[in-house]
Amino acid sequence: MDDVDVNMQSESYRLEEKNTIVAGPTETELRAGVVGGDRNAMEEDEAGSQPMEPFVGTRFDTLQGGKYYNDYALKMGFSVKMNTSKRNAYTNILEKQQFACNKFRKPKEDNVGAELPPVLDPIPDPKPLGEEDEMEEVPVFDGEESGKNKNKKKRKRERIKQTQCKAKMLVKLKDGRWEVTHFVRDHDHPLVAKPSLSKYLRSHMGIPWEEKRFLEILYNCNLTSGCMMHIMSEFYGSELNVPYGPKAITNLCDGFSRDSMKEGDIIETIEHFKDLQKDDLDFFYKIKYDLEGRAENIFLGGWLGTETLYGGIS
């Protein structure tokens, strides 16, 4: 089967009524460019480039189908969960992965009609997975940081209303490549109409790794988070198109600050070890660094006749 070029443009649907089956654009509509009606200039700028709808036979060199499906979900207005996966019993190699709408769970109600926290109810596949091979996985997309501060008002999070939505994409490893073997397009709940709002859905809130590195460079140049947001808005054409908000950049900069403080601490520690070596010729130390150049383990020896390994430094 020939490889599929997954790079097309179209506009996203606007939902007009609630509690209806919501059909995404078909492949024919995407190719013809007839999805949607007249838009004002802001909405056209916001829609931007939309990934082509997945279909059976789409192939990927790596398991990038998750990111591709998540990009598609961002434009369509829903959030993605990694639902079930299957690994080879002998090699432990991942062979099957399912991505689903985050409203895939079965709704439950208590005696007064309030929705209870959802319990996992796996979506049946064309060929159900064995119980021993199934497992629930957390999305690989970046999450949120949480901190304890009694003086801050905590924003109340709305509980996700589960509808047992069947929208999903299933990929399998075939001949060393990942192929879409099953795809359900329709949702049974309203979708978010604008990408400027859908970017706040759970699976779309992370900052891409390469942009984190770029923002770190800007941080080291002493730019404020507001300036960073302005620069990213220029890259994306508008702040509405940036797939994360100013708060995400602020949280990232806080992480950079903590890392720099830790780096300063390890430098002071090394200087202290050097002073100890001057007083005790038998004392020695060795530091193991990780791939990002951060101290991972410290080995101390010859100090008062002891040898100690300190690990888990982060």
**pLDDT (tens digit, 9 = 90+) per residue, 252-271?**
888 876 665 555 556 767 77
* Residue 31 in this model has a pLDDT that exceeds 80: no
Q: What is the predicted pLDDT for the residue at 235?
A: 81
**CB 155, CB 146: distance < 8 Å:** no
* Residue 40 in this model has a pLDDT that exceeds 70: no
Of 43-52, 53-62, 115-124, 204-213, minimum mean pLDDT range: 115-124
Q: Which amino acid is at 261?
A: M
Listed residue (257, 217, 249) closest to 230, CA to CA: 249
- Cα separation, 10 vs 15, whole angstroms: 16
* Residue 232 in this model has a pLDDT that exceeds 80: yes
Distances (CA, A) of 306 to 83, 128, 281, 296: 50, 57, 14, 20
The angle subtended at Cα 53 by Cα 135 and Cα 239, nearest 5°, is 95
Helix pair 209-220, 225-236: axis angle to 10 deg: 130
114 or 87, which is more confident:
87
Q: What is the predicted pLDDT for the residue at 255?
A: 81
**CB 226, CB 250: distance < 8 Å:** no
Three-state secondary structure call for residue 101: strand
The angle subtended at Cα 209 by Cα 192 and Cα 219, nearest 5°, is 105
**Residue 51: CB atoms within 10 Å:** 21
The mean predicted confidence, pLDDT, of the chain is 67
Q: What is the predicted pLDDT for the residue at 294?
A: 64
CB burial class (10 A; 0-12, 13-18, 19+) of residue 97?
A: buried
pLDDT tens column, 75-85: 778 888 887 78
Distances (CA, A) of 175 to 86, 130, 288: 16, 22, 39
Residue 196: pLDDT band by 50, 70, 90 thresholds? Answer: low
- pTM (two decimals): 0.44
Distances (CA, A) of 157 to 160, 193, 202: 9, 20, 12
* Residue 126 in this model has a pLDDT that exceeds 60: no
